[in-house]
Amino acid sequence: QLQLQESGPGLVKPSETLSFTCTVSGGSISNINYYWGWIRQPPGKGLEWIGSIYYSGIAYYNPSLKSRVTISVDTSKNQFSLKLSSVTAADTAVYYCARRTMTTRGEGNWFDPWGQGTLVTVSS
């Protein structure tokens, strides 16, 4: 069964760079049918897609965050990573990684499964 596990700091200072890694187990990150994504959720609020990456390194970002986000993949470690620069208190959130299933059958795509999530607080 595929599992995803986020790892990263729980506290980041304003203006610094937030870094997370998602480790995939029970399946290969190089599977051609999937992208791998990051989604965040501020405390008590809704979900926001940050970006997704393919095993080849092709990445797509939310335009609202694009200038500050870099997502990378390491197929040798079955991991993908998120860097968000110049963080502010508004970036305080639970950060989730998830597999994004892509289809060509006219069904769109979806996120499943998700990691358990890690809360990051931006504070000095």
Partner 1 sequence: DIQMTQSPSSLSASVGDRVTITCRASQSINNYFNWYQQKPGKAPKLLIYAASSLQSGVPSRFSGSGSGTDFTLTISSLQPEDFATYYCQQSYNTPPTFGQGTKVEIK
Between CA 72 and CA 89 the distance in angstroms is 24
Integer Cα distance of 35 and 98 in angstroms:
9
Comparing C-alpha atoms, which of 1, 4, 38 is closest to residue 19?
A: 38
Among 28, 56, 116, 121, the residue binding partner 1 under the rule CB under 8 A is 116
Q: Which is nearer to partner 1, 75 or 114 (CB)?
A: 114
How far is 86 from 117, CA to CA, in rounded Å?
21
Least separation in angstroms between residue 110's CB and partner 1 is 4
Q: List, in sequence order, every residue forming a beta bridge with 114; answer none if it has no partner.
A: 98
> Which of positions 19-48 make contact with partner 1 (CB under 8 A)?
46-48
What angle is formed at CA 46 by the lines to CA 64 and CA 50, rounded to 5 degrees? 35
> Binding marks (x or -) toward partner 1, 59..98, rule CB under 8 A?
-x-xxx-------------------------------x-x
Least Cβ distance, residue 76 to partner 1 (angstroms): 26
121 binds partner 1 (CB under 8 A): no
**Would you tell me which residues interact with partner 1 (CB under 8 A)?**
46-49, 60, 62-64, 96, 98, 101, 103, 106-117
